[in-house]
């Protein structure tokens, strides 16, 4: 298995985020990781990266315990406003990532220049190489972050909410690009999102997190009234219409991953 969790419990700030989770992800799968804010999507990614201690259980990645800084894992974090280095161009942003610099311009070896150029080409972002970060749209910044995640030729991609703040057209473009990279590079992809609908055509399975619990399986197995009601410990209704999935609840404090709709 590419990733294996056995009876894993993780707490943050004194609160249990994931409780006694067991799951296995196979090489080459495209997994949609869904759930409300605070469900543990980012915490799970950090544990796989070797950055988040676990309270109990075991995690293995590539058949061994996770270690931070593994080049075999590419990580695309959530974007945030006020990023540093707004005056840097796209090429320099990736060169900084490749050399571990956070500020200023690194000394670029021919090997790093070749790697950065290849990463930009892989995400169709050669035209962004000379443009300052401040001048890029949200979708263009996401392409740069995705290119950075490809540095080091990883076999596993952890993508944390890459669709945030993107319009539907930009979302579709990013998803199509990631799916193409998965297919051409033989990648395993964990793609965290709030809305399942944009991912319906590319996912192999869905991992749904809620209330410390997890369920992994096909969309038809997991996104059901029975399964989600059990995960949320509440009455949840799943509706399908016009090729989309809607998760409904009569509790306003629930923010569901499939369309954010509430009865």
Separation of alpha carbons 151 and 145, rounded Å? 10
From residue 184, alpha-carbon distances to 114, 122, 128 in Å are: 19, 10, 22
138-150 helix and 110-122 helix, angle to the nearest 10 degrees? 130
pLDDT digits (tens, 9 = 90+) for 13-25: 889 999 999 999 9
Contact status, residue 227 vs residue 215, Cβ threshold 8 Å: yes
Of all helices (H) and strands (E), which one includes residue 116? helix 110-122
Widest CA span of the chain, in angstroms? 58
Q: Residue 240: how many CB atoms within 10 A of its CB?
A: 11
Q: What are phi and psi of 166, to 5 degrees?
A: -95, 145
Angle CA 242–177–59, to nearest 5 = 95
- Residues linked to residue 156 through DSSP beta bridges, in sequence order: 73, 188
Contact 249, 229 (CB under 8 A): no
Question: What is the chain's alpha carbon radius of gyration, rounded to the nearest angstrom?
Answer: 19
pLDDT digits (tens, 9 = 90+) for 81-101: 445 557 789 998 899 888 875
pLDDT in tens, the chain (263 residues): 999 999 999 999 889 999 999 999 999 999 999 998 889 999 999 999 999 999 999 999 999 999 999 999 999 998 654 455 577 899 988 998 888 755 555 568 899 999 999 999 999 999 999 999 889 998 999 999 999 999 999 999 999 999 998 999 999 999 999 999 999 999 999 999 989 999 999 999 999 999 999 999 999 999 999 999 998 888 999 999 999 999 887 655 454 445 543 33
User: How far apart, in whole angstroms, are the C-alpha atoms of residue 238 and residue 223?
Assistant: 7
Environment class of 247 (CB within 10 Å of its CB; exposed 0-12, middle 13-18, buried 19+): buried
Q: What is the pLDDT, as a whole number, of residue 216?
A: 98
């Amino acid at each position: 298995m590419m990733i294996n969790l056995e009876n894993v419990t993780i707490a943050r700030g004194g609160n249990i985020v994931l409780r006694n989770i067991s799951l296995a992800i196979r090489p080459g799968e495209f997994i949609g990781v869904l759930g409300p804010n605070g469900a543990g999507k980012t915490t799970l990614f950090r544990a796989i990266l070797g950055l988040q201690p676990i309270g109990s259980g075991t995690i293995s990645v590539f058949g061994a315990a996770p270690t931070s800084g593994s080049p075999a894992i590419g990580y695309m974090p959530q974007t945030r406003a006020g990023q540093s280095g707004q005056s840097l161009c796209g090429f320099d942003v990736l060169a900084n990532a490749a050399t571990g610099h956070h500020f200023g311009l690194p000394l670029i070896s021919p090997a790093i220049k070749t790697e950065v150029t290849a990463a930009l080409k892989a995400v169709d972002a050669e035209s962004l190489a000379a443009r300052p970060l401040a001048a890029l749209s949200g979708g263009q910044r996401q392409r740069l972050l995705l290119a950075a995640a490809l540095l080091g030729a990883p076999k596993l991609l952890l993508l944390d909410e890459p669709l945030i703040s993107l319009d539907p057209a930009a979302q579709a473009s990013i998803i199509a690009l990631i799916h193409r990279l998965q297919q051409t590079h033989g990648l395993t992809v964990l793609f965290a999102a709030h809305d399942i609908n944009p991912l319906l055509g590319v996912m192999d399975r869905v991992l749904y997190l809620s209330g410390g619990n997890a369920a992994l399986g096909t969309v038809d197995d997991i996104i059901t009234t029975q399964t989600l009601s059990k995960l949320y410990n509440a009455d949840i209704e799943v509706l399908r219409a016009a090729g989309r999935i809607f998760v409904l609840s009569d509790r306003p404090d629930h923010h569901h991953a499939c369309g954010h709709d509430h009865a």
